[in-house]
Structure 1
Amino acid sequence: MIAINNLTFEIGARALYDEANWHIKPGEKIGLIGANGTGKTTLLKMIVGEYTPTSGTISMAKDLTMGYLNQDLLSYSSDKNILHVAMEAFERQNQLHDEIENLLKKLETDYSEDLLHKLSDKQHEFEVLDGYNIEYKAHEILAGLGFSEPDTHRKLSEFSGGWRMRVMLAKILLQAPDILLLDEPTNHLDLPSIQWLEEYLKAFEGAIVIVSHDRWFLDRVINRTVESRKGKLTVYAGNYSFYLEEKALREEIQRGEFKNQQSKIRQEERLIERFRAKASKAKMAQSRIKALDKLERVDDVDDDNPSVNFSFRFSKQSGRHVVTLDNITKKYPAIDILEHAEAVIEKGDKIALIGANGKGKSTLLRIIAGADKDFTGKAETGHNVSQTFFAQHQLEALHLENTVLQELQSFAPKHTETELRTILGSFLFTGDDVFKKIKVLSGGEKSRVALAKALTADANFLVLDEPTNHLDIASVNILVQALQQYQGTFIVVSHDRYFLDNVANKIWFIEEHAIKQYPGTYAEFDEWFAKRKLAPKAAAPATQPKKEEKKEPSPEKHQSDERSKQIKKLNQELVRMEQEITELEKTVKQLETQLADDKLYNDANNATKVTDNYQLKKLELQEIQAKWESLAEQILELES
């Protein structure tokens, strides 16, 4: 389909690609991956002909059709409605439609046989090209990408860049080309739209090349992975998870070969050194030197997975209840967000707030962070809570003339330069990178600086709005490690499901203007939510009969009342369990304090008694916590 042979592309003195090779076959679904700056977007631009290689060839069939989605389309605008823009994909069908309309007008005054034949031919071709269904297809794809029916009649220019990008994606999908080249297609999509796009691409019959930092998305769509690294393109015959396993295996083999070769080289060098001075052995030594020079060296394995090697600390622990939301109502002129909503964030909660765009996720975060006061009800911050709020607009708040190191020093003066450089190293700012000025950084680099600032704050509660935007896979992994180590409480909004599944222990979502929660990981929630959607919906309550009729309540009403009573009873049991958990946590903490006291061990019997009691109470705590989670899940299912 497309053959890339000995491709070299140079930027100044730097070779972005150096004699790289890659063949794309029909029907392959490929993830093109690699660190930022390794040339993924550049390669796509070379395939579509926007850039010319320094040397080498990219060959393909002349009639091959390509659909290319790139971030440059963010700036595209039009005063036509988005349905019209999306339907521009059907170039020939639109042309035939106009020709048929013109012929029909002419037939009002001219009934010639020639015109009738032309009309028949045009209508036949239009039907063969499925022209009568193109508007339906356009509506279907626009709906899948999150547009409502009224939206389709609005001008493209009325939408933000992210929503315009969705329209351009719809147009490209409607073209149904032989190969799709998609550069970060999920960047401006919410979770429902990402899930819709996954299903669409899995069913797509042509070839696909996707550049994406969304590991979950890649795993669900692709069947090949191509890594762009050190100027080469390496193919792995599986999805992203397969790539990780296969690459680890290849690196293990390479590491072994490197060690063996280094051992042989050292042995040869010792022999050469020993015999070089002896006249009788000089010739042999020279021969071995030449052989060493000609030896094809095996490279050692580079560590591409930086780890977080510092610990986050805060000076005070928060109380049990970090934030309490009571009877919150929040409305905008055109939309109701929350109505008499209630929720509690407890110490140690790692909450993922998910849902479609426009449901109020960012609004709820601002209410929790205290940045939005325009609502009714109470949002109370608990005892000893110190918070940091991270949002994308804070990238603009960075001081452009500061270096990366200066930016952190001004924000966290209590940290030493060594500590700050260690933190920055974990966020991929190594060596002289810390002396780069903020103004020259890319969007992803600015995000990493802002995140490093947020995580160096003396805060036991983090509020994070889209922290994974602009981050590549390596940077997302760093953030995952950082939040896994973090001992405080946080709530985060993100569309990166791999990230959410690895950091959250509780899921929040806004439904019917209320805050609902699921006590578990994102993967568990995803499975539960999918089953919930498939389950038949409960019958609507019967209309209340008039008083004078004195009819018996309908079975549906009786069933609803019984469910309400059951939910109330279970909620009371849940409150009782929470009180028991609180008491057990106090007891466990007291026993831990005793066990940490060296004096305890002067009395062996007492030490054994305290240890046994500690193990018993810890086991009781684990059991009741498991019961609490099971009960909470039961309540959620009854409420749904």
Structure 2
Amino acid sequence: MPLFTDLTVQFPFGWTGIVGPNGAGKTTLLKVVTGELEAHGGLVQRSGPALYVAQRTDDPPEQFEDFIWAPDATVLKARLRVVEDWPERWETLSHGERKRAQIAVALWREPAVLALDEPTNHIDADARRLLVRALQEFGGIGLLVSHDRALLDELCSQCVLIDPPSAVLRPGGVTAALAQQDNEEASARSANDALRHTESRLKAEAQRRRVVADQKSSAMRGSKQKKIPIHDHDGRAKRNLAKVSGKDAYAGKMVAQMNQRADKMSQQRAGIEVKKRYETGIWVDGASFMPRDFLLRLPAGSLPLGDDGRQLHFPDLAIGGTSRIALTGANGLGKSTLVKHLLTHLQLPEEKCVTVPQEISAEDSRALLESVKCLPNDERGRIMTTISRLGSRPGRLLESALPSPGEVRKLLLALGIVRGPHLIVMDEPTNHMDLPSILCLEEALADCPCAMLLVSHDEAFLAKIVDTSWHLTPDKAGDAQLEIAG
């Protein structure tokens, strides 16, 4: 089944947002536009070299070494804080540092068409401000897939809203585009409801009149069975029978007219496209807090950060049965390192902890999807119900060979939810998620009765969920210090 049919769109200079749910084909569209994939039909015309920057940060970007030593790359390296030894120690970089490197190299290559897939994933607030400034200066045709509503509003003059097999181009940033879509869908639903009500009323009235006509017809047949009086010289009985027959014919004609009008209403409804909106929002069924007081107690200590001698210092740490903790701090200070350390010291069964890492490789993503496909029908059904309520289409997901990064995160979360977790640990929970999914996840975690530890740069998301902050800050020696508040 094709993702898009009869899609005609022209992208102007400046930034165009590409918006849609996980698995709808946003990445596929970027790859077709930039030539990474060939369309099955139609024509793609480009004004010059095109470049796609992927969501994943597994591998260094092409021409990274050339960029590092290029004289004309000095400004971009300084602006996005790219360090000269990064190519040699790519595996030790945080995903935020890798993302900055990806985008810096892409901007340096100056493509005519630049397609960015989730450019603000993993990036802290300071780096995001630097990135926005750099992207605003890009002079070519830019395509932007992002869950970052503020970024889409700030950069984009138009947005393509994808809902396979169709895609609609709307003016303005994502807020204006989605508002226009909501208004049009509300108008379509209202018109459809009005037509359906009229159609039902006409059919009911036609049925009522048909019953009346049948009753009169039956009465007329009964009267025919009676003999006309011999002395009925003026033919009064015959005239009465004729009147009844005439009324019966008129009633039948009215029934036919009402049915015709009802059919017209049905035809008009068929011409109105009413988008099906799937039920959203999940409740973490079976989740509960541990009866014991603490899931983790860890004495103060230190952890190494890379091979340069830097350390992450932390005080006594504890996670209670209903703790809601946010772990925050700039890129490179060791948030993911601390999470890995904490997971090895938890005091609860492994199956009672849901862990969603910052990134999942393509190979692991394929393996995860295949494992879900092989589950018993009832368990797979519960997982797919959760996937649906997080805004993705289960059928489309099960048909895919490689799920999108956002769908992989939903799969991992859904797998843990069906086990009834006592603790949910998510590293950058909103990364790769589409906008509706973020709202669903936010609602689910806010109501979840179990403990959670969320690593995120998304302050608005965290503010609605957590009550305790673990914040990493650098000290004068370059080490990271963990501070607790709340």
What's the TM-score once normalised by structure 2's chain length? 0.71
Out of 250, 258, 267, the residue aligned to residue 184 of structure 2 is 250
Q: Match for residue 472 of structure 2?
A: 510
Q: How does 1:228-243 map to 2 (within 5 A)?
A: 228-243=162-177
Deviation at residue 197 of structure 1 after TM alignment? 1.3
Q: Which residue of structure 1 lines up, in the alignment, with residue 454 of structure 2?
A: 492
Asked if 1:337 corresponds to 2:337, the answer is no
Query: How much does 1:455 deviate?
Result: 3.1
Partner deviation per Cα, 1:513-562 (whole Å, 9 max, x = no partner): 2112454xxxxxxxxxxxxxxxxxxxxxxxxxxxxxxxxxxxxxxxxxxx
Report the counterpart of residue 21 of structure 2 in structure 1: 35
Identity %: 24
Question: Aligned-pair distance for 1:294?
Answer: 4.8
Question: Which of 304, 308, 324 is the matching residue for 2:282?
Answer: 308
Contact 1:145/1:196 (CA < 8 Å) preserved in 2? Answer: yes
CA distance 1:486–1:159, shift in 2 (3 Å) = closer
What is the alpha-carbon distance in structure 2 between the residues aligned to residue 178 and residue 437 of structure 1?
34
Q: Partners of 1:39 and 1:437 in 2: how far apart?
A: 13
| CA distance in 2: counterparts of 1:452 and 1:481, whole angstroms | 15
Aligned AA (2:455):
V
1:72 Cα offset (Å)? 8.7
Give 1:54 shift.
Answer: 5.6
**Which SS does the other structure have where 1:500 is aligned?**
helix
Change (3 A) 1:159 1:491: closer
Pairwise mapping of residues 87-166 of structure 1 onto structure 2 (< 5 A)? 135=71, 137-151=72-86, 154=88, 166=100
Find the aligned partners of 1:420 and 1:198 in 2 and give their Cα distance.
Answer: 37
Amino acid at match of 1:170: A
| Greater CA drift, 449-458 or 482-491 | 449-458
Partner of 1:16: 3
Aligned residues, how many? 435
Instruction: Confirm or deny: 8 A CA contact 1:317 1:460 kept in the other structure.
Output: no
Taking only aligned residues, the RMSD between alpha carbons, in angstroms, comes to 4.5
Q: Structure 2 vs 1, CA of residues 342 and 147 (structure 1 numbering), >3 Å: closer, same or farther?
A: farther
Aligned to 1:480: 442
C-alpha distance in 1, partners of 2:53/2:369?
33
SS of residue paired to 2:6: strand
Shift of 1:438: 11
CA distance in 2, matches of 1:43, 1:418: 30
Alignment of 1:351-362 (within 5 A): 351-362=325-336
Structure 1 alignment gaps of length 5 or more = 1-13, 88-133, 372-379, 410-416, 520-640
State the alpha-carbon separation in 2 of the partners of residues 400 and 206 from structure 1.
40
- Amino acid in the other structure paired with 1:32: I
| Aligned-partner SS, 1:483 | helix
CA apart distance, 1:300: 3.3
Q: Which amino acid aligns with 1:35?
A: P
Bigger relative contact order, structure 1 or 2 (CA pairs below 8 A, ≥6 apart):
2
CA distance in 1, matches of 2:399, 2:10: 40
2:414 counterpart of 1:452: yes
Structure 2 counterpart of 1:69: 53
Gaps of 5+ in 2: 214-247
Offset from partner CA, 1:130-181 (integer Å, 9 cap, x none): xxxx72x5133234444324436x4889989986665443222124445432
Secondary structure, counterpart of 1:516 in structure 2: strand
Partner of 1:183: 117
User: Take 1:59 and 1:440, find their aligned partners in 2: how far apart are those partners?
Assistant: 27
Q: Which residue of the partner structure matches residue 338 of structure 2?
A: 364
Provide the rounded CA distance (Å) in 1 between the counterparts of 2:262 and 2:114.
53
Identify the residue that residue 327 of structure 1 maps to in structure 2.
300
Q: Work out the CA distance in 2 between the residues paired with 1:491 and 1:322.
A: 12
Aligned to 1:620: none
What is the aligned partner in structure 2 of residue 426 from structure 1?
389
| Distance in 1 of aligned mates of 2:60 and 2:351 | 43
User: 1:421 & 1:178 partners in 2: Cα distance?
Assistant: 41
C-alpha contact 2:424 2:451 (8 A) present in aligned 1: yes
- Using the size of structure 1 for normalisation, the TM-score is 0.56
**Comparing both structures, which one devotes a greater share of its residues to helix?**
1
Q: Which residue of 2 aligns with 1:462?
A: 424
Q: Once the 2 structures are TM-superposed, how far is the Cα of residue 275 of structure 1 from its aligned partner? A: 7.2
Which whole-Å CA distance do the structure 2 matches of 1:242 and 1:179 have between them? 24
Q: Which amino acid in structure 1 is aligned with residue 303 of structure 2?
A: K
- SS, match of residue 353 in structure 1: strand
Aligned-partner SS, 2:159: strand
CA gap of 1:270–1:46, structure 2 versus 1, over 3 A, is same
